[in-house]
Structure 1
Amino acid sequence: MSTGLQAATKLEEKVVLVDINDRQIGVAEKLQAHRDGLLHRAFSVFVLNSQGQLLLQKRAQHKYHSGGLWTNTCCSHPRHEETTVLAAHRRLQEEMGFDCELREIFSFVYHAQLDNDLTEHEFDHVFVGYSDREPILNPEEAEDWKWIDLKILQADLLKNPQAYTYWLRDCCDRFITAIQ
């Protein structure tokens, strides 16, 4: 399948629409949900190594939004009738080429205007995992990766916020507090 066709197919995937309490109220095509700013279920995975460093990925430049920005280890949306934790494991394998034990540590709702006239409005479930494995990137999803010390990340988020995704900037401090 060509890259363009893969991207079009992924944008036609459905996301789970939810209310402010994360109760499902419907489904919508992913791109339409992002065009209309509809609240939908999502997840963010943060993988730490044995030195306490966070694995970041740089989103592929051709992604439909936030391309070329650094973000947490992986993030996406569960499919209709897929649990959030199973979706997190699936996407960690699909994006980064490995899996590890994950546990949910908190959730939050955010609303942000993005590039390409899109809006993120997500009920985001945040998972943490631990691994020392080096990722095997899926080039459709990510173009680079690095391990980073959490204090260095916090400082760089303040100094260079434009280099990072909105959701990472929004939840990084909460993530650090939750794991301490």
Structure 2
Amino acid sequence: MEDNIIIVDTAGNAIGEINKMDAHISGTLHRAFSVFVFNSKGQLLLQQRALDKYHSGGLWTNTCCSHPRAGEFTPDAAHRRLQEEMGMDCELTELFQFSYRHEFANGLIENEYDHVFMGISDELPLPNPAEVAGFRYIDTDLLIFELLEQPEQYTAWFKICLEQVLEIYRQII
């Protein structure tokens, strides 16, 4: 939690930097990214966050997500964290950005300007157990059903942006 991350304005422009934990305590708007990797069968690679993460531990989410460090380009950070979390890398395309704010039961606040990336890879992940408790590939129809039946099993940001990711993915494929 020593990394400084990028404070942004509501249009996503960098306006400063802040310690990552301080951003989540104060609710300061900051830059983030979410990576969605599909395999050639059209299944989405999900990760289950490590149980001891500072928030959302044990919940299922997109393939990888994090924050660029101060001075780091967001696409570079997405590749770095995909390697650090999932032990893999692939070509990534930025799809869109969105902002969201979510307060967690432990008092932490996500207030993020999130850049969403997509990739396609059949590389088998080798997850870092400090970051990832589990992973699975899932057909998108089953995923949507699971989200309707058990939304509490998934992270807040994943539920917000999944529909738009799937819409774009289906247009591309």
TM-score bin (small chain): over 0.9
Q: Is the 8 A contact 1:97 1:135 kept in 2?
A: yes
Distance 1:79 1:13 in 2: 6
1:21 corresponds in structure 2 to 11
Distance 1:112 1:93 in 2: 27
1:137 aligns with 2:127: yes
Distance 1:114 1:127 in 2: 25
Aligned length: 170
Residue segments in structure 2 that go unaligned for 5+ positions in a row: none
2:96 partner SS: strand
1:52 partner SS: coil
1:41 aligns with 2:1: no
Q: Once the 2 structures are TM-superposed, how far is the Cα of residue 12 of structure 1 from its aligned partner?
A: 2.2
Q: Once the 2 structures are TM-superposed, how far is the Cα of residue 120 of structure 1 from its aligned partner?
A: 0.5
1:172 partner SS: helix
Q: Extract structure 1 runs of 4+ deviating beyond 4 A.
A: none
2:136 corresponds in structure 1 to 146
Q: RMSD over aligned Cα, in angstroms?
A: 0.7
- Please tell me the residue identity of whatever aligns with 2:82: L
1:85 aligns with 2:72: no
Q: Percent identity?
A: 54
- Please tell me the residue identity of whatever aligns with 1:91: R
Q: Is the 8 A contact 1:71 1:165 kept in 2?
A: yes
| TM-score (ref. length: structure 2) | 0.96
Q: Once the 2 structures are TM-superposed, how far is the Cα of residue 25 of structure 1 from its aligned partner?
A: 1.1
| TM-score (ref. length: structure 1) | 0.93
Residue segments in structure 1 that go unaligned for 5+ positions in a row: 1-10
Q: Is the 8 A contact 1:154 1:172 kept in 2?
A: no
Q: Once the 2 structures are TM-superposed, how far is the Cα of residue 115 of structure 1 from its aligned partner?
A: 3.4
